[in-house]
Amino acid sequence: MFKLKKSKNVKSLINKHHCLGSWTYFKEGWEAKTDQLQLQSWETERRVVIVRRKISSNSLMALELESGQQQKSLAFVDGPEDMRLYEYSVLVTSLKDELVTLVQYYRDRADCENVFDEIKNQWGWGGFTTHDLKSCQFITRIIALVYNGWSLFVRLANPERHYEAITSRPLLLSSVGRLTKSGRQKQMVITSGHGKTMQVQAIYL
C-alpha cells in the first residue's frame, strides 16, 4: 500500500467522487471510499482507496492568505456543502481487506515512518556518510541511542504525547541550572529561558 501522486488521472478520479455519496466515515473527520484505477504505466486496473477530510475554516483562511487573496473575501465565503474544500489522498493497494481496515493500516505505517523521518532529519541519521561501513554503523548506533534516551526522557516528562526533537529540544534544553551547596544539602535551581516557561515548569514537576 502506498500513496499516489496527484497526476492527471488521479485528479480525475477525485473530481469524479467529490460530489458522490457512499463515503464511509473513518474517524476524526476522515471519510473513505474505494474504486478501481488504471494509470498509463499499469497493465491492469488496481484497487485504490480515496481518503478525504474537510479543511477547517482556519486552514481555509491560511490557504487563501498564502495565495495572496485579501482576507476581506473570506468573511463572505459560504457555499453549499458539496462545494466546500477537502484535502484528498489516494492510496493504491493489492489487499482485499475492508475499507476502514485499509485506512488504519496506512495510518499505522505513517506513524512508523514518522519516527524514521524524525531520526534522519532532526537527529542527523542521514547526514553522516563514508565509505567505511564500520564507521557508518558506529555513528548510526550512537544516534539511535541518543534518540532513544531523549525520547524516554521527554515521554517521562509528558506521558500524554510524543514530542519531536524539533520542538522538544528548544523547549527543554533552553534552561540554565544552578547548584547551591549549603552544609550537607544541595539545591538545584533550573531557570528556563523559553517563552513557555510555565509549561516547562509543569513538565519538570
Q: So what's the pLDDT on residue 126? A: 75
Residue 192 CA, chain-centre distance (Å), reads 28
Mark whether 92 and 15 lie in a shared domain.
yes
Domains in the chain, number: 2
The counts of H helices and E strands in the chain are 6, 7
Residues in the chain: 205
What pLDDT digit, counting tens, does each position of 9-28 carry? 999 999 888 888 889 888 87
Q: Are residues 181 and 103 in the same domain?
A: no
Q: What confidence score (pLDDT) does residue 77 get?
A: 38
Domain final residue pick, 60, 87, 119: 119
Cell numbers given for 50: 480515496
Block means of pLDDT (10 residues each) for the chain, 205 residues, are: 88 88 84 92 92 72 50 40 72 90 85 83 79 86 91 86 85 84 87 80 74
Domain of 168?
A: 133-204
Of 95, 119, 143, the position where a domain reaches its end is 119
Helix (H, G, I), strand (E, B) or coil at 192: strand
The Cα 43–Cα 18 span in angstroms is 26
CA end-to-end span of the chain: 43
Question: Is residue 125 assigned to a domain?
Answer: no
Q: Is 53 helix (H, G, I), strand (E, B) or coil?
A: strand
Could you say which of 62, 84, 119 is where a domain stops?
119
What percent of the residues of the chain are helix, what percent strand, and what percent coil, each to the nearest 5?
Answer: 45, 20, 30
Phi, psi of 174 (to 5 degrees): -95, 35
Question: Model pTM?
Answer: 0.53
- The strand ranges marked E within 38-184 are 46-54, 86-93, 175-182
**Is the Cβ–Cβ distance between 119 and 139 less than 8 Å?**
no
> Which segments of 94-132 does DSSP mark as H helices, in order?
99-122
**Do 68 and 163 have their domain in common?**
no
